[in-house]
């Protein structure tokens, strides 16, 4: 009954069309438009089901939502399908079931779309993850190998603790848990290249080394067993002042691309649709959540990374303007491909879901 009541309140509160005047501040390339299509409290990770239901995790709200749209992406119907969980940021969909993360556990809701108003009680998949809350919220996704990939962030700004700072993977039933990649401070977004099926991920750099170092990173992990340097080496050549003693950055995998310090890259997705011009196909978008401890703010935008032959050839703003006069009104979190080829972006500061579309400029 609690879920039914909450769903009714959400439907009543968030159903009208959203004419957000702040969106006029945003700058996009010619031919692209952005609109708010839903208001979701603290919207974080996202995934679509094959039938077009959008599932959205949250961090501070402790809820997972399902969102149904009409053909014109209007009149969203919003259903809370999981309530009162510890930072259920990540969501993933497989074989009719919705998987979502918490700090130390992974849950799933079986056959979740059968009745969104009265969704089944989530069942535990695994409780074998660390319970440290610092960097404990988790983006999750199924890889091309059918395994569920789960990051384990460092339980600190910088430290060297066994069992943390990696990306793990497991079978859908929670068995076979293993480390895929290590030396990763904290990733809150990853995806696989549509053609090569190789893993790419974002990484947040450590704090308190200054405004401009160390860099945040984009990383490429084409095989299992790679070590990306944390906590010993930051970026391609910056040894940590404490943990970098007697270490060499050359002993670790260097970043595919170094970003500005503290931009906080979170969600990333390769573009797989056909709505955007062909040059965007198989390139990826990165949500820069934005800095929190830099004297002059950085990030707060959606970026486009262009790749060729496994290398990043350019990295440039795609949607800019979430910050004005050093005050951010929006903070992009995750990016997702919509079934119609548009691009969906979550924003946990503006409590919004945006849709980016393209039409040939006249």
Alpha-carbon distance of 138 to 164, in angstroms, equals 13
DSSP-assigned beta bridge partners for residue 219: 201
- 15 versus 260: which is more confidently predicted? 260
Question: C-alpha dihedral over 112, 118, 121, 126, to 10 degrees?
Answer: 30
Q: Which domains does the chain have, with CATH numbers?
A: 2-358 (2.120.10.30)
What percentage of the chain has pLDDT greater than the value 90? 92
Confidence of residue 19 (pLDDT cuts 50, 70, 90): low
Contact (Cβ atoms closer than 8 angstroms) between residue 224 and residue 301? no
Residue in 93, 108, 79, 95 with CA at minimum distance from that of residue 49: 93
Residues 6+ apart with CB under 8 A from 193: 200, 270, 282, 307
How much of the chain is helix, strand and coil, in % rounded to 5?
A: 10, 40, 55
Q: Which residue has the tokens 């400029």?
A: 361
Predicted pLDDT of residue 161 = 97
Q: What is the pLDDT of residues 293-327, one digit of tens each?
A: 899 999 999 999 999 999 999 999 999 999 999 99
- DSSP 3-state assignment of 250? helix
DSSP per residue, 285-330: EEEE---SS-SS----EEEEEEEETTEEEEEEEEEE-SEETTEES-
pLDDT band at 362 (very low <50, low <70, confident <90, very high): confident
The DSSP result for 195-212, as a single string, is TT--EEEEEPPPSSS-SS
Distance CA 257, CA 261 (A): 12
Q: What is the mean pLDDT of residues 12-40?
A: 80
Are 109 and 55 spatial neighbours (Cβ–Cβ below 8 Å)?
Answer: no
Element (H, E) at 63: none
Numbers of helices and strands, H then E, in the chain: 1, 29
Banded pLDDT at 14 (limits 50, 70, 90): very low
3-state secondary structure of 69: coil
Indicate the pLDDT class of residue 5, thresholds 50, 70 and 90. very low
Asked whether the beta carbons of 53 and 344 are under 8 A apart, the reply is: no
Nearest CA to 259 out of 281, 290, 233 is that of 290
pTM: 0.94
Residue range 219-229, pLDDT digits in tens: 999 999 999 99
For the segment 135-191, what is each residue's pLDDT rounded down to a tens digit?
Answer: 999 999 999 999 999 999 999 999 999 999 999 999 999 999 999 999 999 999 999
What dihedral do alpha carbons 254, 256, 262, 268 form, nearest 10°?
-140
């Amino acid at each position: 009954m609690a879920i039914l009541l909450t769903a009714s309140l959400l439907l009543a509160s968030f159903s009208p069309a959203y004419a957000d005047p702040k969106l006029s501040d945003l700058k996009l390339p010619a031919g692209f438009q952005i609109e708010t299509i839903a208001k979701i409290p603290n919207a974080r990770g996202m995934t679509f089901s094959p039938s077009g239901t959008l599932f959205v995790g949250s961090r501070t709200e402790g809820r997972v939502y399902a969102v149904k749209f009409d053909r014109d992406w209007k009149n969203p119907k919003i259903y809370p399908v999981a309530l009162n969980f510890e930072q259920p940021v990540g969501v993933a969909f497989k074989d009719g079931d919705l998987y979502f993360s918490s700090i130390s556990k992974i849950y799933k809701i079986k056959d979740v779309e059968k009745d969104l108003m009265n969704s089944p009680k989530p069942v535990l998949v695994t409780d074998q993850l660390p319970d440290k809350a610092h960097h404990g919220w988790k983006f999750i996704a199924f890889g091309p190998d059918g395994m569920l990939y789960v990051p384990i962030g460092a339980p600190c700004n910088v430290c060297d603790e066994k069992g943390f700072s990696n990306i793990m993977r497991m079978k859908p039933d929670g068995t076979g848990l293993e480390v895929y990649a290590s030396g990763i401070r904290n990733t809150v977004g990853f995806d696989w290249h549509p053609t090569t099926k190789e893993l790419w991920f974002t990484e947040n750099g450590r704090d308190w080394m200054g405004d401009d170092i160390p860099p945040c990173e984009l990383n490429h992990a084409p095989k299992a067993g790679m070590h990306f340097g944390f906590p010993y080496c930051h970026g391609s050549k910056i040894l940590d002042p404490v943990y970098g003693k007697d270490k060499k950055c050359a002993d670790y995998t260097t970043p595919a691309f170094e970003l500005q310090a503290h931009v906080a890259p979170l969600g990333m997705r390769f573009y797989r649709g056909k709505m955007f011009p062909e040059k965007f196909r198989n390139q990826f978008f990165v949500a820069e959540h934005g800095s929190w401890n830099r004297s002059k703010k950085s990030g707060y935008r959606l970026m486009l990374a262009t790749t060729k032959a496994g290398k990043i050839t350019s990295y440039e703003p795609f949607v800019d303007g979430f910050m004005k006069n050093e005050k951010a009104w929006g903070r992009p979190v995750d990016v997702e491909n919509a079934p119609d080829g548009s691009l969906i972006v979550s924003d946990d500061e503006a409590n919004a879901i945006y849709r980016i579309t393209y039409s040939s400029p006249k």
